[in-house]
Amino acid sequence: DAGVTQSPTHLIKTRGQQVTLRCSPKSGHDTVSWYQQALGQGPQFIFQYYEEEERQRGNFPDRFSGHQFPNYSSELNVNALLLGDSALYLCASSHSSPLHFGNGTRLTVT
Amino acid sequence: AQSVTQPDIHITVSEGASLELRCNYSYGATPYLFWYVQSPGQGLQLLLKYFSGDTLVQGIKGFEAEFKRSQSSFNLRKPSVHWSDAAEYFCAVALNTGNQFYFGTGTSLTVIP
pLDDT of residue B61: 96
> pLDDT of B63-74, one tens digit each?
999 999 999 999
pLDDT of residue A1: 58
pLDDT band at B47 (very low <50, low <70, confident <90, very high): very high
pLDDT of residue B105: 97
Question: Looking at the predicted structure, is the pLDDT value of residue A98 above 70?
Answer: yes
CA distance B34 to B101: 9
Q: Is B43 on the interface with A (CB under 8 A)?
A: yes
Element (H, E) at A19: strand A19-24
Share of residues in chain B with pLDDT > 90 (%): 84
The mean pLDDT value for B85-89 works out to: 97
Q: What residue type is assigned to position A62 of the chain?
A: D
Q: Is A60 on the interface with B (CB under 8 A)?
A: no
Q: Which of B113 and B29 is assigned the larger pLDDT?
A: B113
The mean pLDDT value for B21-49 works out to: 93
Nearest by CB: A103 against B43, B97, B104: B43
- Taking phi over 0 as left and psi of -120 to 50 as alpha, with beta for the rest, B105 belongs to alpha
- Give the distance from residue B97's alpha carbon to the nearest chain A alpha carbon, in angstroms: 5
> pLDDT of A52-84, one tens digit each?
999 999 999 999 999 999 999 999 999 999 999
pLDDT band at B28 (very low <50, low <70, confident <90, very high): confident
Is the separation of the CB atoms in B20 and B76 below 8 Å?
A: yes
Q: Would you tell me which residues 17-36 of chain A have a C-beta closer than 8 angstroms to some C-beta of chain B? A: 31, 33, 35
Element (H, E) at A108: strand A105-109
CA distance B7 to A74: 35
Is the separation of the CB atoms in B104 and B5 below 8 Å?
A: yes
Classify residue B103 by burial, with Cβ atoms within 10 Å: 0-12, 13-18, 19+: buried
Q: Which of A97, A99, A100 to mutate to test the interface with B (most CBs of B within 10 A)?
A: A99
In chain B, % helix, strand, coil (3-state, to 5) comes to: 10, 50, 40
